[in-house]
């Protein structure tokens, strides 16, 4: 074999080697790029994109454990859940509605006279919470995250009705009074972090710690209307209007010492 033949064989070998290497590099490039793009790493137990999760709160001592819904910055119970926009990004939201109706009835006898008094108080509160939750890459069952959340609370008017009756042999005298007080608005801004520990796939326990800015404006005009109907004589009507408003601004740390139980599906 002469020199020219040897060079020809070596050249063919180099060309084949370069072509093979180029094909392997072309195949591996998309895989490498995909690995570089996908930077978030989570445990197989963690929820994935488009999963929905609901949470309840467990608090109390061992002999007095209670389960409640989550609470917003003003303290009203809300239904709380998450929707995963991405594997590491979740939209969190809460909804709450409280309606209270307290009724009290009393009766007392003074000689031959019966004195009765009924009172009724009505109030409602509506809450809406929403925010975003960013999860940090991890390979164990602990799922750390940071979040920011806004709370809006609408406080309805408070209505108090007091109806009094004095019953005797001569008849019935009445004293009816209605008090209406303006409601208010609460605004809360929370920013902090927390973690979930996944005991099983899509099932976790967790807790949170946040800085909280809370602004509450409650009250305003109070309208007091009283109608007195005596046994004899004309009906007396008294109407008063006054202002009573509370403006409160606080900045503090809001810990959730209780345990959040969450399930995702």
pLDDT beneath 50: ranges in the chain: 2-37
Q: DSSP string of the chain?
A: --HHHHHHHHHHHHHHHHHHHHHHHHHHHHHHHHHHH------TTS--TT-EEEEEEEES-GGG-EEE-EE-TT--EEEEEEEEEETTEEEEEEEEEEEEEEEEEEEEEETTEEEEEEEEEEEEEEEEEEEEEEEPP-SSSEEEEEEEEEEEEEEPPEEEEEEEEEEETTEEEEEEEEEEE--EEEEEEEEEEEEEEEEETTEEEEEEEEEEEEEEEEEEEEEEEEEEE-SSS--EEEEEEEEEEEEEEEEEEEE--SEEEEEE-
Q: pTM of the predicted model, to two decimals?
A: 0.69
Tens of pLDDT, residues 135-146: 988 778 899 999
pLDDT at residue number 163: 93
Tokens describing residue 170: 């001569």
Nearest to 46 by CA among 261, 198, 193, 265: 198
pLDDT at residue number 65: 58
Tokens describing residue 148: 């920011």
Tens of pLDDT, residues 195-239: 889 988 888 888 888 888 989 998 899 999 999 998 887 889 999
pLDDT at residue number 159: 93
pLDDT at residue number 17: 43
pLDDT at residue number 253: 82
| Cα–Cα distances in angstroms (integers) from residue 39 to residues 20, 32, 34, in the given order | 30, 12, 9
pLDDT at residue number 72: 67
CB atoms within 10 A of CB 107: 11
Task: For the chain, give every domain's residue range.
Answer: 39-264
């Amino acid at each position: 074999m002469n020199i020219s033949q040897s060079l020809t064989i070596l050249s063919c070998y180099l060309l084949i080697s370069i072509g093979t290497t180029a094909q392997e590099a072309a195949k591996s490039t998309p895989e490498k790029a995909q690995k570089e793009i996908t930077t978030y790493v989570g445990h197989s137990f963690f929820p994935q994109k488009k999963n929905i999760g609901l949470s309840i709160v467990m608090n109390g001592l061992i002999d007095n454990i209670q389960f409640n819904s989550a609470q917003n910055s003003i303290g009203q119970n809300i239904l709380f859940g998450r929707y995963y926009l991405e594997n590491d990004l979740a939209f969190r939201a809460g909804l709450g509605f409280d309606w209270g109706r307290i009724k009290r009835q009393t009766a007392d006898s003074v000689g031959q006279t019966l004195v009765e008094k009924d009172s009724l108080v009505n109030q409602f509160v509506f809450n809406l919470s929403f925010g975003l939750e960013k999860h940090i890459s991890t390979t164990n069952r602990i799922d750390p995250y940071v979040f920011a959340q806004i709370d809006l609370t609408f406080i309805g008017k408070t209505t108090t009705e007091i109806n009094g009756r004095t019953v005797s042999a001569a008849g019935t005298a009445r004293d009816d009074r209605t008090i209406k007080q303006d409601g208010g608005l609460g605004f809360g801004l929370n920013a902090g972090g927390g973690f979930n520990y996944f005991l099983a796939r899509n099932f976790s326990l967790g807790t949170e710690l946040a800085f909280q800015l809370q602004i509450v404006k409650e009250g305003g005009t109070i309208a007091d209307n009283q109608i007195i109907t005596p046994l004899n004589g004309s009906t007396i009507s008294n109407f008063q209007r006054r202002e009573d408003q509370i403006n409160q601004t606080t900045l503090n740390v809001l810990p959730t010492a209780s345990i959040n139980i969450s399930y995702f599906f």
